[in-house]
Chain A
Amino acid sequence: MWAILSIRVENKPGILFKVTHLFRARNFNIDSISVGVMENPEFSKMTITTVGTEKQIAQIVKQLDKMIDTIEVKRLDEKESVYKELVLFRIKSNGESDNTEISKLASTYGAKIHNGQEGSLIAELTSTPDKIKAFEESIKPFGILDSARTGVTAL
């Protein structure tokens, strides 16, 4: 089971370390993690996606909640929240015809195309993990030279 956890923490040094350490020490997995300061700079919001059984996820939430640095821990309902991830793919291109086709695919998924280094394009897509996966599959035949993603963030 996949779960999105939204964690409001005090914006102090060392807290990311403690949260990730908790996952390691308790034998839980982090699928993705994104962190940023909130509108009130006293707090940061961490969004962690994780995979586990229902029981494990309930334990993760409780253990995170028990941490003194966490203010609020929420498990977000996929259907009732907006969750997105930004991904960049460097795609191999052998010339104009590839460029055109990649651009077409990109517009289907709502991705932006940037000029890459010689012989490549960079596609930028903000979407849900499963749509990103679908886009990835569709551009795979051209050759993905490199990629980077931010991890899911959600509200």
Chain B
Amino acid sequence: MMNDKMEIMNGGKALMKALEKEGVKEVFGLPGGANLPMYDELFKSNIRHILVRHEQSAAHMADGFGRVSRKPGVCFATSGPGATNLLTGIATAQADSAPMVAVTGQVPVNMIGRDAFQESDIIGMSNPSVKYAFQPRAVEEIPEVVKKGFYIAETGRPGPVLLDIPKDVQQNEAKVTFPDEVRMPGYHPWTDVDMVNIERAVDLLLSSEKPIILAGGGTIISSAFAELQSIAEMLMIPVVTTFKGKGAFPENHPLSLGPIGMHGHAEANKIMTEVDCVLAIGTRFSDRSVGTFEEFERNLKIIHMDVDPAEIGKNQTAQVAVVGDVKASLRVMLKLLAKKVLKKSDGNKWLEHVNEVKDYWRENLKLHPGEMSAAKILRKLREVLPKESIVTTEVGQHQMWASLFFDAIHPGTFFSSTGLGTMGWGFPAAIGAKVARPDVAVVDIAGDGSFNMTENSLATSVLEDIPVIVFLINNFSLGMVAQWQRTFYEKRMIGIDLKNCPDYVKLAESYGAQGIRAQSLDELGKAVKAGLNSDVATVIDIPIDPEEDVLPFVAPGTSLKDMILPS
């Protein structure tokens, strides 16, 4: 029986209609044999296609779009190599809990399993790196899997969802209906606010003498900025973040100590080893943040708030666990605190001590003496860049310098591949971010090694009119690997020398972008301003001393108290 909601259409059209119903306005992708039918319907739809030059970049763009807009970014790729090229981007989104819907073409149903041309078992390959994957085998299933896919990708702890659609399922026609609701008996992304444990958390927090707040990426995903700041200010508790939590709390705030971890701020790592109670918000206690697990939790009472119950007790043992959306939990906590705390604290001995440590390290941390040191160029960028601008980074030394020397001030304006550590993420992610927020400037803080990996996204940026700035800290090498070889392998340098190849100014120009070389802080300030005023992408090539290390440094497998400081 055909009810009035049923319409006859092919699978490709059903996909586009379902995407439009989810509010999708842009997709990042690259066509090929097995997704031609959906591209033919994309042509007829109102959705904008943004062409990439490599599928990995499409996934990173969708990722950047998703992190900034908090709605799933969508990327398209064909079967086989198209799909496998997406995988790094999908795994990156999974590691950093970014909402994404990746749509791949697949060989026709009757060819699956017969080693067809450009066939890959992308459902099997992607399994550990997706939040969920669907392979609809009939046109009728498409509206439902799209609806489910978006729901899964953006609710609870966000993540990437894969829709792998066989070519004949895109092509065939059928009567389809578009559901308003979907049922998934095994998926419960939200829990009620855990009143009992929030009360216990409040008691523990108030009874501690040396408390700290550790804000993780979940604070940003949940937009719990105001709640976090209110609690910190009410109790006058210092705030550190994980690297992924950078931007959860204004780094120019008097209570901010900045990120902890392998390349955390010296004052943040020092204080972290002294605290007796941590209110940890939306963090999975990554080894890069806490060093050795056993040492971190010693003499420390942990209140762990997270939307994902499986994070409780995975890496650290919590005395009090509060499962649920952290914004909702913090709101309740704030109300309880307001009842219990009669007078707003204006400080105490602990905070005085924290401030002494902070002042000491902010004044005395030894920095590279050159004019174009990492600290100086990143502080210059901060000075010139409007506060609400969005910053992404690549992966390597520049990323850790950004953690140390670039203050994220406006909430949720700093994004990086923190979990998987994917070189080449920052530039395409910046393009995705700019699509989500065309009203603000977007800057990719890059290194030469990483930028080289996805630099062909310059074509996308220029041709699709999505101008971003690449702040290219160029040390002519794979700098972080070089630093580890200098530090741990007695300077046996291998496989790190990039020899300033290519010339990034000429490279930018060859794509029709603006290329500027900045060799002084003055030139740098002017270059950033030129980038902010430019209609096309701007690559600012900033040559620096290739021997500059990132310090402080907590070596892998050691604890925060073993932090190596600049000598």
Contact A65–B309 (Cβ < 8 Å): yes
Select which of B123, B152, B310, B312 is within 8 A of A68 by beta carbon: B152
For residue B370, CB closer than 8 A to chain A, the reply is: no
Nearest opposing residue in chain A for B131, CB measure = A68
In the complex, which residues of chain B have a beta carbon less than 8 angstroms from the beta carbon of A58? 313
Q: How far is the CA of A55 from the CA of B136 in the complex (A)?
A: 38
- 8 interchain pairs, CB-CB under 8 A: A10-B185, A21-B128, A22-B128, A58-B313, A59-B310, A59-B314, A62-B312, A68-B184
Distance to closest chain B CB from A24 (angstroms):
9
**Contact of B533 with A by CB under 8 A:** no
Q: Is B511 an interface residue (CB 8 A)?
A: no
- Mostly, the A contact residues are helix
Report if B308 contacts A (CB, 8 A): yes
Q: Is the CB of A14 within 8 A of B310?
A: no
Q: Do the beta carbons of B313 and A66 come within 8 Å of each other?
A: no
Contact A59 B132, CB 8 Å, known A66-B308, A67-B186: no
Which bracket fits the contact residues of B? Answer: 10 to 19
Contacting residues, chain B, for A65 (C-beta < 8 A) = 309-310
Interface string of B116-137 (1 = CB under 8 A from A): 0000000110011001100000
Q: Does any Cβ of B come within 8 Å of A131's Cβ?
A: no
In this assembly, does B187 line the interface, its C-beta being within 8 Å of a C-beta of chain A? Answer: yes
Query: Quick check: A62 and B310 within 8 Å, CB to CB?
Result: yes
Contacts of A9 in B (CB 8 A): 186
Given contacts A10-B186, A17-B127, A68-B132, 8 further A-B contacts (CB under 8 A): A17-B124, A21-B128, A25-B128, A62-B310, A62-B312, A66-B308, A66-B310, A67-B186
The listed residue (A25, A55, A62, A68) touching B186 by CB distance below 8 A is: A68
Whether A66 and B314, one on each chain, are in contact in the complex, defined by CB atoms closer than 8 angstroms, is no
CB A123 to nearest CB in B, in angstroms, measures: 39
* Interchain CA distance A65-B186 in the complex, whole Å: 8
Interchain pairs with CB closer than 8 A, number: 38
Q: Which of A55, A65, A66, A70 has the most CB of B within 10 A?
A: A66
Q: Which of B152, B310, B314 has the most chain A CB atoms closer than 10 A to its own CB?
A: B310
B189 to chain A, nearest CB (A): 10
Nearest chain A CB to B18's CB is how many angstroms away? Answer: 19
Whole-angstrom CA separation of A21 from B123 in the bound complex: 13
Q: Is the Cβ of B310 less than 8 Å from the Cβ of A63? A: yes
Tell me, yes or no, whether A98 is within 8 Å of chain B by CB: no
For chain B, residues 178 to 213, give those with C-beta under 8 angstroms from any C-beta of chain A.
184-187
Distance in angstroms between the alpha carbons of A9 and B186 in the assembled complex: 8
B136 to chain A, nearest CB (A): 13
Tell me if A88 counts as interface (CB < 8 A to partner B): no
A69 CB–B CB distance under 8 Å: yes
Query: CA A63 – CA B312 in complex, angstroms?
Result: 11
Question: Taking A55-B313, A59-B314, A65-B309 as contacts, is the C-beta distance between A71 and B186 under 8 angstroms?
Answer: yes
By the criterion CB–CB under 8 Å, are B187 and A68 in contact?
yes
B residues 148-185 in Cβ contact with A at 8 Å: 152, 184-185
A18 contacts B by Cβ under 8 Å: yes
Chain A residues 55-112 with CB under 8 Å of chain B are 55, 58-59, 62-63, 65-71
Interface size of A by Cβ–Cβ distance < 8 Å? 20
Contacts of B312 in A (CB 8 A): 62
- B185 surroundings in chain A (CB, below 8 A): 10, 71
CA distance A55 to B314 in the complex (A): 8
CB neighbours (8 Å) of A62 from chain B are 309-310, 312-314
CA distance A10 to B187 in the complex (A): 11
Contacts of B152 in A (CB 8 A): 68
Residue of A nearest to B129 (CB): A25
Task: List B contacts of A17 (CB < 8 A).
Answer: 124, 127
A8-B124 Cα distance, complex, nearest whole Å: 22
- The minimal Cβ–Cβ distance linking B242 to chain A, given in whole angstroms, is 21
A69 near B314 (CB under 8 angstroms)? Answer: no
In the complex, residue of chain B having the shortest beta-carbon distance to the beta carbon of A70: B186
Most chain-A Cβ atoms within 10 A of its Cβ — which of B124, B184, B185, B312? Answer: B185
The residues of A that contact B308 with a CB separation of less than 8 Å are 66
In the bound complex, do residue B310 and residue A69 qualify as a contact, i.e. CB atoms below 8 Å apart? no
Pair A66/B127 contact, Cβ less than 8 Å:
no
Closest to B314 in A: A59
Task: Tell me the smallest distance from the CB of B106 to a CB of chain A, in Å.
Answer: 14
Q: Which residues of A contact B131 (CB under 8 A)?
A: 68
Q: Closest CB of chain B to A64's CB: distance in Å?
A: 9
CA distance A25 to B131 in the complex (A): 14
Tell me the complex Cα distance, A18–B186, Å: 14
The 0/1 profile, CB within 8 Å of B marked 1, for residues 33-72 of chain A is 0000000000000000000000100110011011111110
Complex: chain B residue closest to A60, CB-CB: B310
What A residues does B128 contact at CB under 8 A? Answer: 21-22, 25
A76 to B: closest C-beta gap in Å = 19
| A25 CB, min distance to chain B CBs, angstroms | 5
- A40 and B437 CA atoms in complex are apart in Å by 49
How many Å lie between the Cα of A71 and that of B312 in the bound state?
A: 20
Residues from chain A with Cβ under 8 Å of B309 in the complex: 62, 65-66
- Interchain nearest-CB distance for B305 vs A (Å): 16
How far, in angstroms, from A62 to B132 measured CA to CA in the complex?
Answer: 17
Please, which residues of chain B bring their CB within 8 A of the CB of A10? 185-186
Question: Given the complex, which residues of A lie within 8 Å of B187, measured CB to CB?
Answer: 68
A7 CB to closest chain B CB, in angstroms? 10
B287 CB, min distance to chain A CBs, angstroms: 15
Give the docked Cα–Cα distance between A58 and B132 (Å). 23
Q: Are A59 and B313 in contact (CB under 8 A)?
A: yes
* Shortest beta-carbon distance from B152 to chain A in Å: 7
> Which residue of chain B has its CB nearest to the CB of A69?
B186
A70 surroundings in chain B (CB, below 8 A): 186
Interface-central residue, B124, B131, B186, by most chain A CB under 10 Å: B186
A21 and chain B: residue at smallest CB distance: B127
Residues of chain B contacted by A21 (CB below 8 angstroms): 127-128
- Least CB distance, A61 to chain B, in whole angstroms: 9
Whole-angstrom distance from the CB of A106 to the nearest CB of chain B?
Answer: 43
